[in-house]
Structure 1
Amino acid sequence: MSAREERPSLSSRTTSLHDYALFRQGIEPDGRVPSGGHPLPGGPPPRALRSREVERVLTELLPPALADPDPARAAARLDRCLPERGMHPDDVYGLARLPLPEEAAARALGRRLLLTATDPAALAVGISLVGKLGGPEDVPGLTTIAVLEGFLQPVLYTLASLRCDTEVLMRLVGILHPDDHARVISQLASRDDPAARQWLLNLPVGPHTGSSQARHVALAVRLADLLEAEHPGTAVLAQGARLLNRMAPEGETGSSAEILAYKPAVRVYEALVRRADRLPPTLDHHAILLSLALDLSSGPPVLLGWRPGLREELLVRLDRLLSTPDWAAVLDGARTHEDRCRADWIRRMRREPFDRTTPDGLRIHVVERDPRFGDEVETRILLDGRPLVPRVFPQGRSPAPEFVLGRDLLRATPEEREVTLSTAYCDEGCCGTLTVTVRRDGNHVVWHGRRQDGIGPRLPEYRFDAAAYDAEVERARTDDTWCRSARGTARLIAAGLHERPGLLARWGIPLSWCRTAGPYEETVVLRLAFGPGVSGATGREASRWVQLEWRLPDDGRPPALRAAAALERLATTDPRTYARFRDGNKEYAESLGLRLPDDD
């Protein structure tokens, strides 16, 4: 019998969660942990009790367990009784606040539960007791449990209370999924420990590095002091640029860009750019310096407390450096597919932060981010030289150009038009939207803020010279120098479907999305959704829906020809005959005669 065939027996209530975690680690390739941790046997436990009931159950069950001279018997009783009472792991972490007069008994009980509990709530009791009364000898058991779904955060809290060695957290990062690194790294960043600072300074900064995490790392390693040193070193310069770039994205966590909360930001930008010529000219260095310039030109860093002229001076320095022959030559030396894609991105964005002025009135910057960090393109709207969305709506992000420019929403007419410039990162119903009305008033264009249902920001009235406004909107709408071939194809297909709503309606398909397959791919992906559930049905009919996917690989033709051919096929042939099932109700799909992919 193989290890995987044995899994059901190890998922029963006869096996402790500690041993189950060891088993899962042993059978996974390279000891890999999935995002969020290994799933618990039987799935996540349900929430059943209210806070007052939780306190009553703990007060009833815990004292007898602590009074039992046999910790094994007491642990077994709690392991049996807590799930019977409907306890959830999150319910019991508050027991650390309860008085524990018999500390030795509580410690013994906690350690026993940590190693033998089969129920998640009982394991949570063990973690809480060990966190309050345990010691270094409990660290191995805790790190074993950390790989289980829902237990990483309480384990990290407990490890902090036990003051575990820095090396323990470093090893934990090595086995967790990258999606879960941020919590451990944040704890490392909170330590005044030279070993932690050195490890953080060498930490790879990539797509999984969140903006908040980047700020905590920069503070922990004392980045400003490192960069202002006489000889900071090229590794420190490059890492500093990467951290600044990861702090700059708008509203990534539903709040202001982290760069605006990073107090040494101006010092760090100045020290880094003044020493940027010490970096060797490489493709990666070119990309991170260009990203710095894009944000200094039109991103949230514009809103920092700059001395007059300093930001403009730093942009001039970056432009001069990246224009030198050695730096320009690195683009032609790209060898791998991903490097060539990144070099093409640099060519598209190279002049964006340097050729544009930011005069009074409206200015629109379309900025594509480094493909190493995704396929994101932002329409950054600047009013009087200051980026609008991060200034007045920190919960939101700048819109994609396909939305605000592709549909020509900013065009001003005497008839008032309402335009949503940004939706909250969390949800429109939570923090609202940034919405304005646009109308022409004689020789002026007027923007007037609107507030939806009492939530979200309300802009003051802005008046623009109509001729200058029209020219800027038209320039931004027709400029596609930022757009790579696949995205251009996707934009034209989406625009064609928007202009010809009957094209898909004839096949009974009300919803569609079109985008590229990824930052390094030229394949275009069109997704189509239909069925009663998509059209607003309720009850049992709501589950009857299907999403199809049609992938269009690059065939070497220009975007206009690729898009025209795709739209022609959609107009003449039912896409349900060639698009593949991606998601939805399989039984409903089969009833329509759709071909489903083979089950794995």
Structure 2
Amino acid sequence: MAQLLGPAVDDPDPVGAAATLDRRLPQLGVRPDLVHHPLARLPLTNESAALALGRQLVRTASDPTALGAGIHLVGRLGGSEDVPQLTTLALLQGFLRPVVTALSALRCDTEVLIRLMDLLDPQDHGVVIDALASREDPAARRWLLNLPVGPGTTSSRAHHIALAVRLADLLQDESVDASVLAQGGRLLTRMALATGSPAEVLGYGPAIAVYEALVRRADRLPPTLDHHAILLSLALDLSSGASVLLDWPPGLREELLERLERLLGTPAWAAVPDGGHRHRDRYRADWIRRMRREPLDRTTPNGLRIHVVEHDPEIGGHVEARILLDGRPLVPRLFPAGHSPSPEHVLGQDLLRATPEERTVTLSTAECDEGCCGTLSVTVRRDGAHVVWHGPRQNGIGPQLPEHRFDAAAYHAEVDRARADDTWCRPARSTARLIQAGLGERPGLLARWGILQSWCRPAGPYEDTVEVDFWYGPGAGRDPVGDEAGQWVRLTWRLPDDGRRPGVRAAAALERIAATDPKTYSRVTGGNAE
């Protein structure tokens, strides 16, 4: 690579050098997004020639790697006159990140990046948002402060934005307005959520000050559905989420929780869920009612506590069973690479029940991969009047939980309470859980149709439709081996809400599966469609 690029960047004939790179770079098999690595190490003794080559490649290259080389050279050596051409290239698939890197290196106007957002698919916005958050620019900070925060906003991105807009300073201002308070609450909630990346709130230096400023000024927020959801999310985090692990001054977290509970319990705020009439508002109001089903726990209990939390539908509606030992959430404390398990996993299968026979339970798997960062597993067994947990480390990967002993009676009382409590569960999820449980209890229902496995879930946070996935392929009845795995298909059966109770809907679904092959009324949604 260096032998090819070195002469090219010094060639006084940019047209010829560009043609050579366009022809020969494909033979080296270098990815377009990686070509900047060897280029960055090259000494550019003739910068004007290198810039001319970069501009020629940007205009004429047909090979993606050659185009990537041109973008890097122009970003490294070009000027404001190159910005329009680069901005156009950002729309080409696979070139957004190198183009934004080049535009940032050229110190293009913030308005250029903001306008680029309007041209991109929302799933690509993150690259530009990160670039804007890296700018020391009041215009960028103003734009970021009004940026919608939703399911696509990762914990790390929320952290980046909070630092960029100087959220802690904004909230300490006595004149801070309601819109800034609300946005601060959204960002803090996303930082505390570990889905796809660790809970960044634990690495956010001013987190405690931001929580305190938000909660002490929360009464400035008008009592709307959105504001109620923000404050409730903050309270759930302070009760059992990763934020519990912050280095709180004695009594402060409990005081903030008490303030939130008192505010949300006032007549004006308590009546907010009753005013949700639009489709999405009704779902969000129902979520508020479910999550306000019991007082927010401000104590630090000894032993085991299981808190099932459903997150705001506006940020995806993810449901997790938070496991707390002596008042401290286990997964974010020991295994930030993962997230808390689903209640269906640990409660639906009764995995935490202790018997004299030792059982290993996986509580969390790393987002990257089990073989990369491992899992958080515990071994559970009954030892007389106690239940004992200890953490095996598999293949030397992942954390190891020190031995923890529980009073057996209190431990099983908490497991029984959590298993019996389904007040957190919305109807579509209840239907899905009952179908899944029924299929597990009657494995012959699927085996007779040659279906290996299934999974049931609500279709989305704002839907009452239930989706049932079936996996079917050669060698059905056993796990596929070798080439068989690539021939399997995923079939999905959608069950729209018909107004009946979850138990009735689930029973009807199981009866249909028993009577009629699901392959005749499901559609292919994945795997090998041939």
Please, what TM-score do these two structures have when normalized by structure 1?
0.85
Note if contact 1:294-1:352 (Cα within 8 Å) is conserved in structure 2: no
Q: Do residues 527 (structure 1) and 469 (structure 2) align?
A: yes
Distance between the aligned counterparts of 2:295 and 2:375, measured in 1? Answer: 27
The answer (yes or no) to whether the contact 2:338–2:367 under 8 Å persists in 1 is yes
Residues 1:231 and 2:142 are matched in the alignment: no
Q: Tell me the CA shift for residue 116 of structure 1.
A: 1.6
Q: How many angstroms does 1:252 deviate by? A: 2.6
Distance in 2 (CA, whole Å) between partners of 1:394 and 1:582 is 32
For the residue of structure 1 that corresponds to 2:108, the secondary structure is coil
Aligned CA RMSD, in angstroms, stands at 1.7
In the alignment, structure 1 residue 262 sits paired with structure 2 residue 208 = no
Alignment partner of 1:305: what SS?
Answer: coil
Partner of 2:5: 58
Residue correspondence of structure 1 range 149-188 to structure 2 within 5 A: 149-188=93-132
- SS of residue paired to 2:24: helix
What do residues 552-600 of structure 1 show as CA deviations (whole Å, max 9, x unaligned)?
A: 111111111111121122223222232233333344xxxxxxxxxxxxx
1:345 aligns with 2:287: yes
Aligned 8 A contact 2:239 2:297 in 1: no
Counterpart in the other structure of 1:76: 19
AA matched with 2:53: L
Query: Which residue pairs with 1:515 in the alignment?
Result: 457
State whether residues 21 and 66 of structure 2, in contact with CA within 8 Å, keep that contact through their aligned partners in structure 1.
yes
Q: Measure, in 2, the Cα distance between the counterparts of 1:223 and 1:449.
A: 39
The aligned amino acid for 2:252 is: L
Q: What is the aligned counterpart of 1:421 among 334, 346, 363? A: 363
Given the alignment, which residue of 337, 345, 355 partners 1:395? 337
Q: Which residue of 2 aligns with 1:335?
A: 277
Say if 1:191 and 1:220, in contact at 8 Å, map to a contact too.
Answer: yes
The separation in 2 between residues aligned to 1:242 and 1:187, in whole angstroms, is 20
Tell me how far 1:353 sits from its aligned partner. 5.8
Q: Deviations over 1:515-544 (max 9, x none)?
A: 111111111111111112664444554433
Q: Distance in 1 between matches of 2:171 and 2:262?
A: 21
Structure 2 counterpart of 1:296, one-letter code: L
Aligned to 1:100: 44
* Equivalent of 1:576 in 514, 519, 522: 519
Cα distance change of structure 1 residues 512 and 109 upon mapping to structure 2, 3 Å threshold: same
What is the Cα deviation at residue 58 of structure 1?
A: 2.2
Q: How big is each residue's C-alpha offset from its partner over 1:431-480, in whole Å with a ceiling of 9 and x where there is no partner?
A: 11111111111111111111112111110111001111011000000000
SS at match of 2:136: coil
Partners of 1:537 and 1:431 in 2: CA distance:
26
Contact 1:298 1:353 in 2 (8 A): no
Q: Say whether the 8 Å CA contact 1:251–1:395 is kept in structure 2.
A: no
- Structure 2: distance between partners of 1:492 and 1:373: 25
Q: Secondary structure at the match of 1:209?
A: coil
Match of 1:560 in 2: 503
Alignment partners' CA distance in 1, 2:164 and 2:30:
38
Equivalent residue of 1:379, what SS?
strand
- Cα distance in 2 between the residues matched to 1:229 and 1:86: 55
Match of 2:156 among 212, 216, 230: 212
CA distance in 2, matches of 1:454, 1:86: 36
Q: CA–CA distance in 2 between the matches of 1:447 and 1:519?
A: 35
Q: Secondary structure at the match of 1:450?
A: coil
| Alignment partner, residue 442 of structure 1 | 384
| Distance verdict in 2 for CA 1:169–1:434, change over 3 Å | same
How far, CA to CA, are the matches of 1:401 and 1:507 in structure 2?
Answer: 29
Show structure 1 runs of 5+ residues with no match: 1-53, 588-600
Report 1:1-12 matches (<5 A): none
Q: How does 1:242-391 map to 2 (within 5 A)?
A: 242-250=186-194, 252-253=196-197, 256-352=198-294, 354-355=296-297, 357-391=299-333
Following superposition, the deviation at residue 87 of structure 1 comes to 4.4
Given the superposition, is the C-alpha separation of residues 352 and 434 from structure 1 closer, same or farther in structure 2, using an over 3 Å criterion? Answer: farther
1:526 and 1:549 in contact (8 A); partners too:
yes
Distance 2:459 2:525 in 1: 14
The offset of 1:56, in angstroms, is: 2.9
- Letter in structure 1 aligned against 2:261: D
User: How much does 1:85 deviate?
Assistant: 4.7
Residue identity in the other structure for 1:382: L
Whichever residue aligns with residue 347 of structure 2, its letter is L
Check 1:586–1:211 CA distance in 2 against 1; reply closer, same or farther (3 A cut). closer
Greater CA drift, 460-469 or 369-378: 369-378
Q: CA deviation at 1:207?
A: 1.7
Aligned residue type for 1:442: G
| Within-5 A mapping of 1:469-480 | 469-480=411-422
Gaps of at least 5 residues in structure 2 are none
Cα distance in 1 for partners of 2:484, 2:405 equals: 49
How far apart, in 2, do the equivalents of 1:76 and 1:149 lie? 22
- 1:6 paired residue number: none
Structure 1 SS opposite 2:73: helix
Is 2:155–2:194's contact at 8 Å kept on the other side of the alignment? no
Contact 1:525 1:550 in 2 (8 A): yes
Q: Please, which of 483, 489, 493 is the counterpart of residue 546 of structure 1?
A: 489
* More displaced stretch, 171-180 vs 516-525: 171-180
Q: In 1, distance between residues paired with 2:319 and 2:294?
A: 13
- Secondary structure of the residue that 2:348 maps to in structure 1? coil
Deviation at 1:505, TM superposition (A): 1.1
1:484 aligns to 2:426 (yes or no): yes
Structure 2 CA distance, aligned partners of 1:354 and 1:541?
Answer: 50
Deviation at 1:196, TM superposition (A): 1.2
Write the distance in 1 (CA, Å) between the matches of 2:494 and 2:144.
41
State the SS of the aligned residue for 2:260: helix
The offset of 1:251, in angstroms, is 5.2
Q: For residue 244 of structure 1, report the CA deviation from its aligned partner.
A: 0.3
Alignment partner, residue 195 of structure 1: 139
Give the one of 404, 427, 439 matched to 1:497. 439
* 1:499 to partner: Cα distance: 1.7
Q: Are residues 524 and 312 of structure 1, via their aligned partners in 2, closer, same or farther at CA, if it must alter by over 3 Å?
A: same
Q: Distance in 2 between matches of 1:455 and 1:229?
A: 46
Residues 540 and 226 of structure 1, relative CA distance in 2, 3 Å threshold: closer
- Corresponding residue SS for 1:512: strand
Q: Which moved more, 1:355-364 or 1:434-443?
A: 355-364
Percent identical pairs in the alignment equals 70
CA apart distance, 1:74: 3.2
Query: Which residue of structure 1 aligns with residue 32 of structure 2?
Result: 89
Deviation at 1:79, TM superposition (A): 2.1
- 8 Å Cα contact 1:517-1:525 kept in structure 2: yes
Equivalents in 2 of 1:522, 1:67: separation in Å? 64
CA contact (8 A) 1:493 1:563 kept: yes
What is the CA distance between 1:387 and its match in structure 2?
A: 0.1
Cα distance in 1 for partners of 2:45, 2:173 equals 53
